[in-house]
Amino acid sequence: MSPSQWTVLLVGLMVIVCQLSFGQRVIENKQRTFEIDFDNNTFLKDGEPFQYVAGSFHYFRALPQSWSRILRLMRAAGLNAITTYVEWSLHNPKEGVYNWQGIADIEQFIQLAQEEDLLVILRPGPYICAERDMGGFPYWLLHKNPGIQLRTGDVAYLHEVRTWYAELFSRLEPYLYGNGGPIIMVQVENEYGSFFACDHKYMEWLRDETERYVRGHAVLFTNNGPGLTVCGGVEGTLSTLDFGPGTTEEINGYWDDLRKHQPKGPLVNAEYYPGWLTHWQEQEMARVPIDPITTSLREMLADKVNVNIYMFYGGTNFGFTAGANEMGPGLYTPDITSYDYDAPLDEAGDPTPKYAAIKQVISEFFPIPDVPVPTPECKISIPWVTLDPIDSVLNRHVLRAIATPKITNATPLSFEALNQYSGLVLYEAPLPKNLNTDPMKLTVEKLHDKGYVFVDSLFIGTLSRQNSINSLPVPLGIGEMLQIIVENEGRINFGTPNDFKGILGNVFINTHVIRNWTMTGIPLDNIGKISSFIHNKLQENGRHPMKQLKLLRGLPIQRGPTLFHGTFNLSRTELCDTYLNPTGWGKGVAFVNGFNLGRYWPLVGPQITLYVPRHVLKENTNEIILVEFQMVKKPFATVQFDSFPTFH
The residues carrying an active-site annotation are: 191, 271
Max Cα distance, the chain (Å): 107
Q: Are strands 81-85 and 119-123 parallel, antiparallel or unpaired?
A: parallel
**Cα–Cα nearest to 547, from 390, 388, 339:** 388
Helix axes 248-261, 290-302, angle to 10 degrees: 50
Residue 452: which of 493, 514, 412, 393 has the closest Cα? 393
Q: How far apart are CA 602 and CA 261, in angstroms?
A: 47
Residue type for position 529? K
Q: Cα(399)–Cα(465) distance, rounded to whole angstroms? A: 26
**Which residues touch 510 (CB under 8 Å, ≥6 apart)?**
435, 437, 440, 441
DSSP secondary structure, 262-312, as one string: --SS--EEEEE-SS---BTT-SS-----HHHHHHHHHHHHHTT-EEEEEEE
List the one residue out of 74, 135, 164 whose CA is nearest residue 325.
Answer: 135
Cβ neighbours, 10 Å, residue 352: 17
Bridge-partner residues for 462, per DSSP? 452
636 by DSSP, 3-state: which? Answer: coil
The amino acid sitting at 194 is: S
Run of H or E residues at 18: helix 3-31
507-509: strand order across its sheet = 471-474, 440-444, 507-509, 512-513
DSSP state of 261: H
Say if residues 424 and 588 touch (Cβ distance below 8 Å): no
Q: Which residues contact 180 (CB under 8 A, 6 or more apart)?
A: 28, 29, 32, 174
Distance CA 462, CA 485 (A): 10
| CA-to-CA separations, 374 to 119, 314, 351, 441, in angstroms, rounded | 20, 18, 10, 60
Contact 153, 201 (CB under 8 A): yes
Cα(first)–Cα(last) distance of the chain, in Å?
86
Q: Are 522 and 452 in contact (CB under 8 A)?
A: no
Burial track 618-644 (b if 16+ CB lie within 10 A, e otherwise)? eeeebbbbbbbbbbbbeeebbbbbbee
H or E segment and range at residue 463: strand 458-464
State the Cα angle at 364 between 360 and 369, rounded to 5°.
75
DSSP state of 126: S
Least Cα distance to 189 among 181, 178, 199 occurs for 199
